[in-house]
Structure formats: C-alpha cells, structure tokens
C-alpha cells in the first residue's frame, strides 16, 4: 500500500511496515539437534497433557523465573514449570532469571528440547528477566550469549522496579513493550 505525498502532485510514498508484521530473524537453533545429550531425568522439567489451547505457553525453567508475569504480559498461560503436551504442538516460551542458577536451569530445559525430549511443542525462545538492577556481571553476560545460540530467539527484559509490587499488563515500560512486540511477531510468524 502507498500513500500520496501531499507536497508533490501524483507522487506516492511507500507505506511503512508495521513492526508486529515484520519477520524476526532467529538467533540460534530452530529445531532439535540429534547429537545433543539430554539432561538426566532428575534435571528435566516434567510434561503434562492438555487439551486447552493458549496463544503461548510460558514455561518457567525454575521457581521465581517470572513465568506468570511474562504469561500475563503476553496474554498467555503459565505452565507451572512443565512442558505442555498436546496434539496441537503448542507454542512455548521459556523464562529464566539472569542469575547463575536461573541460567543453568534454562540451559537444562534447552538441552532437553535440543535432544528431542519435547517433540510435542514449538519452542519460540527464551526470555531472560533481570534478577537485579544494573548490568550483568561478565560471566553471566557471557553465559547469556552462549544460551542465545541454543534457542530460536532470546530476549532480555531489564529490571523493572514496579514489577516488585505488581504487574499492569496494559501499561508495560517501553523496553518491555519492545520485547512483547517482538515475541508477538514471532508468534504470528510461527503460525504461518
């Protein structure tokens, strides 16, 4: 679609594309990798069968991973730290805090997916939520970059002090809106 240039008779300008419809390029693996060794059974998230549908299932990789907050922001469903299993191959988004324990838990869940232990889902990616204000220490920042290559997409949500007292999904801060917009674009893209 084009729009007319009001300053030139008969001239047209291209219509800017909507950010929600632009394709978001993958940053890492887009499917399981046969050579990956799965984590031991005790380190894997459980699976639950569901006939419910959801726009997106948000799977927290550990307690306190902001699973319910991200589900609320996306109008999705928190999966209670379990993989949803359905004939519909549900869209799944992993969440983790940015501390060492959280990133290690995310890595275990990613290994299970990469090893083909979760064939019943479509993994969209991982959202890492800041566990404290400020920059990540270098070892955690480096580990986050390693994790980026193991999932189709990786997003980072910075520390939002207001989320300590409650989440208003209708008015997230600008940096969170950008992440939510990108995730929604990936969701739309994954359905086509």
Structure tokens, 69 = 């907050």
Q: For residue 171, what pLDDT is reported?
A: 87
Domain membership flag for residue 80? yes
DSSP of 5-32: -TTSTT-EEEPPPPGGGSPPPP-S--S-
Residue 3 pLDDT > 70:
no
Q: For residue 165, what pLDDT is reported?
A: 85
Structure tokens, 190 = 């994954």
Domain membership flag for residue 130? yes
For the chain, what percent of residues have pLDDT higher than 70? 88
Compute the distance between CA of residue 60 and CA of residue 108 in angstroms, rounded to an integer.
Answer: 12
CATH number at residue 153: 3.40.50
Residue 138 pLDDT > 60:
yes
Total tally of structural domains belonging to the chain: 1
Query: What would the pLDDT profile of 51-91 be if each residue is shown by its tens digit?
Result: 888 999 999 999 999 999 999 999 999 999 999 998 888 99
Q: Tokens 């990613």 correspond to what residue?
A: 110
Domain membership flag for residue 110? yes
Domain membership flag for residue 169? yes
Query: What would the pLDDT profile of 148-157 be if each residue is shown by its tens digit?
Result: 999 999 999 9
Compute the distance between CA of residue 79 and CA of residue 74 in angstroms, rounded to an integer.
Answer: 13
Picking from 15-29, 48-62, 145-159, which range would have the lowest pLDDT averaged per residue? 15-29
Helix (H) or strand (E) holding 67: helix 67-74
Domain membership flag for residue 6? no
Domain membership flag for residue 177? yes
φ/ψ of 95, rounded to 5, equals -130, 150
Compute the distance between CA of residue 87 and CA of residue 182 in angstroms, rounded to an integer.
Answer: 26
Q: Provide the Cα torsion 58, 59, 63, 66; round to 10°.
A: -20
- How many residues appear in the chain? 192
> Domain range holding 103?
36-190
Structure tokens, 92 = 């799944």
Pairing of strands 46-49, 12-14: unpaired
Domain membership flag for residue 28? no
Domain membership flag for residue 12? no
């Amino acid at each position: 679609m084009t729009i007319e240039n009001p300053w030139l008779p008969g001239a047209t300008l291209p219509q800017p594309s909507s950010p929600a419809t632009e394709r978001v390029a993958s940053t890492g693996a887009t499917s399981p990798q046969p050579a990956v060794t799965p984590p031991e059974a005790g380190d894997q998230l459980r699976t639950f069968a569901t006939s419910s549908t959801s726009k997106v299932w948000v799977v927290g990789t550990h307690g306190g991973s902001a699973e319910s907050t991200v589900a609320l922001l996306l109008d999705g469903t928190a999966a209670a730290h379990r993989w949803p299993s359905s004939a519909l191959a549900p869209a799944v988004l992993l969440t983790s805090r940015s501390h060492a324990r959280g990133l290690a838990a995310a890595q275990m869940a990613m290994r299970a997916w990469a090893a083909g232990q979760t064939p019943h889902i479509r993994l969209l990616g991982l959202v890492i939520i800041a566990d404290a204000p400020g920059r990540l220490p270098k070892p955690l920042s480096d580990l986050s970059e390693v994790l980026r290559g193991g999932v189709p997409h990786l997003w980072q949500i910075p520390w939002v002090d207001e989320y300590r007292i409650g989440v208003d999904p209708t008015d997230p801060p600008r940096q969170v809106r950008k992440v939510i917009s990108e995730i929604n674009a990936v969701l739309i893209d994954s359905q086509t």
